[in-house]
Amino acid sequence: MSGPQINAGDITEWPILKVDYLTDKDKVAALLPPGIEPGDTPHVNLSIYQVAVPDVPEYGVFMTVDAGYRGTTGMYTLGYGIDQESAVFISRDMNGQPKYPCEIDFYRYQDKISARCTHQGYTFIEFEGMAGDALPAREKFEENEWWIKVLRAVGGAEKAYDFPPHVVRVKSTYATKAEIAVEGELGLLESPWDPIASLLPVREYQGARLWWPEFLGREITLEGPLDPEAYWPHVDNISGSRWPGYMGGPKPA
């Protein structure tokens, strides 16, 4: 199957490679700050993409776990690794989107699908697969992502903030232009900067697909505050992601 056709070299209408698996419930819970609740299943979604932002290519990967906030189901986002540095800081500072620089190799050659994500010299995600059959059509749907906007106090005083932690809700509505199953193999590799292999290991691989979304709407809103004292152990992170860290980089073992 091919999916929607585009002009040669066009950066629009690329599919997103979506990879799903289950991990351990306690591993998910350990990464969530107080106030964000684990979902019913310890589901991890990896999305590897190329989109135009705003009119130049941005290659990226974002990693989420199922989680809810105040009774609304959604996904807590651990990181957006992207190759477009100009979008990192404005996204993080304005909306709390956990972006950081990352090298992404993602391409399709005929039916072969290949993706690789590398940060600080460590490749932490690999995927190789083959495009298969078209998946059944589905209705439009809504997704909620949870980001955290927070700013530690100037000077680094203990448990002090210039802006205490607040949840940011990203409510997106999609339709599906096309979706194709992908038979492939996911590899999570050890990295001190993106410790997905150790902190969210694969317990049950659930499959992969190429998804051509139709973006129907997106609302980014500041929601409620989180307990600033309870959040403090989560305030350090690695390179703008929400992986546990400290001022020197990866969190010590």
- pLDDT, tens digit, 9 for 90 and up, residues 27-76: 999 999 999 999 999 999 999 998 877 777 889 999 999 999 999 999 99
**At 18, is the pLDDT very low, low, confident or very high (cuts 50, 70, 90)?**
very high
Is 168 domain-assigned?
Answer: no
How many domains are there within the chain?
1
Is 29 domain-assigned?
Answer: yes
pLDDT of residue 95: 97
Is 111 domain-assigned?
Answer: yes
- Cα separation, 226 vs 148, whole angstroms: 9
Largest CA distance in the chain: 56
234 DSSP 8-state letter: G
For position 91, which CATH number holds? 2.40.400.10
Average pLDDT for 187-195:
97
Average pLDDT in the chain: 93
For 114-152, what is each residue's pLDDT tens digit? Answer: 999 999 999 999 999 999 999 998 899 999 999 999 999
**At 7, is the pLDDT very low, low, confident or very high (cuts 50, 70, 90)?**
low
Q: Kindly tell me the burial class for residue 137, based on how many C-beta atoms sit within 10 Å of its own C-beta (0-12, 13-18, 19 or more).
A: exposed
156 DSSP 8-state letter: -
67 forms bridges with which residues in the sheet? 38, 74
Is 224 domain-assigned?
Answer: no
**Type of residue at 236:** D
Is 43 domain-assigned?
Answer: yes
Range of the domain at 114: 16-136+175-212
Is 197 domain-assigned?
Answer: yes
**Which distant-in-sequence residues (6+ apart) come within 8 Å of 51 by Cβ?**
11, 14, 57, 58, 60
For 207-231, what is each residue's pLDDT tens digit? Answer: 999 999 998 999 999 999 999 999 9
Is 28 domain-assigned?
Answer: yes
Is 234 domain-assigned?
Answer: no
pLDDT of residue 190: 97
